[in-house]
Chains A and B, each alone.
Chain A
């Protein structure tokens, strides 16, 4: 018979095990989102530049990253980088860099679609006013592309948040790790994993609802 007992879930347990991991998961998500969108936008601009020496490396990067399972990228990066730089990087730092580089590939595809959704006439209007490529992109095209794609970018970020749990592969202390250790110490793994699942669900689901609201608002403005 399954007898669940949550009595050991005290504020002390939460502040002792969970908060530290939660902060790291959040940090990882936010840094990888901001870094990934910036890097992804650059990759998208490279792919749309029409210059083979920019298109090809960007396309190769995006396609490679999208063809390898994330957990392998996490592992390889953790194992290879110390060999290159000569000293261990630490699981947390390694995870942050890996996620930023990996997510950039996905964000780049979203931004590419966003940029392509802006009519060529808008670009022509920017140029006709004397703007440079940089100004036309930065002032006219990217703000519109970003706004149009905001719901998709945020949806990708929700997936990213869930994927951060994969850092268990290199032993980084994230939200899931906090629950795992607590479960072991109190010998209550079923209860802790259950609470972890509920927490991931609540966070992801409420963010999804937020995205849906946002989508409706953007639809009205347009």
Chain B
């Protein structure tokens, strides 16, 4: 589904990604973790072309992201993305947030888009909030709406960029619950997160990054059981010590 082949990226002279290679099969859930500044967010943003890369290529369902001839908006329209800071559109109601891209990008009728939006809003448990603006919701609620918004486009896979990092601790679980449910339904997911509980519970593989490189790419059993690299061992011992 997603093939990342030898990606390298520079900001000027500074190399942020070094020769990253991995793939996500259909229905797989991959967790990407690592210390801050390790390039994990940058890597996931390369997958739908929000960040450009200078070397290598990424294929989403066989379509090259790096090829200048690729219709990137079209590719992005069926790759869902959830951001750290939700990025709901504050000048629109929740209903409009859910329907705007369906209407403007997919060309659905407003009724069809609203119906689809409501169904998903109900699924994340927020149907009574449809008429509100994002500013009237809590962080956890906003992030659940953001997930519903991404799902409204009927994506073939979902990218999550630290979806719970900006949330108050008591709101983390309501978002993770939605993600776990999604994983169980067979959605292909690539998730940048520090939530090791989530990784343990639903991931198929864990990718550990450090200084722009993929240091470890292992099944979750191997990763949590016996990480090969010293760097990953250190990282795990630090975040799992409490």
Contacts and interface: CB of A to CB of B under 8 A. Distances in A.
Given A121-B83, A139-B100, A131 B91 contact: no
Contact of A130 (B45, B90, B105, B135): B105
Contacts of A144: 89-91
Interface in A116-136: 119, 121-122, 124-125, 127-132, 135
Nearest to A222: B135
30 contacts: A119-B85, A121-B83, A121-B85, A124-B45, A124-B50, A124-B87, A125-B81, A125-B88, A127-B72, A127-B76, A128-B50, A128-B79, A128-B80, A128-B81, A128-B83, A129-B77, A129-B100, A129-B101, A129-B149, A129-B150, A130-B105, A131-B104, A131-B105, A132-B73, A139-B100, A140-B89, A144-B89, A147-B91, A221-B135, A222-B135
Contacts of B76: 127-130
B77 A122 contact: no
A24 B68 CA distance: 52
Chain A, interface SS category: helix
B139 to A, nearest CB: 14
Interface in B89-115: 89-91, 100-101, 104-106
B153 interface: yes
B188 interface: no
A129 B91 contact: no
A128 B105 contact: no
B154 to A, nearest CB: 11
Contacts, number: 63
Interface size class of A (residues with CB under 8 A): 10 to 19
B5 to A, nearest CB: 22
Given A128-B150, A135-B104, 5 more contacts: A125-B88, A127-B73, A144-B91, A221-B135, A222-B90
A51 to B, nearest CB: 15
B48 interface: yes
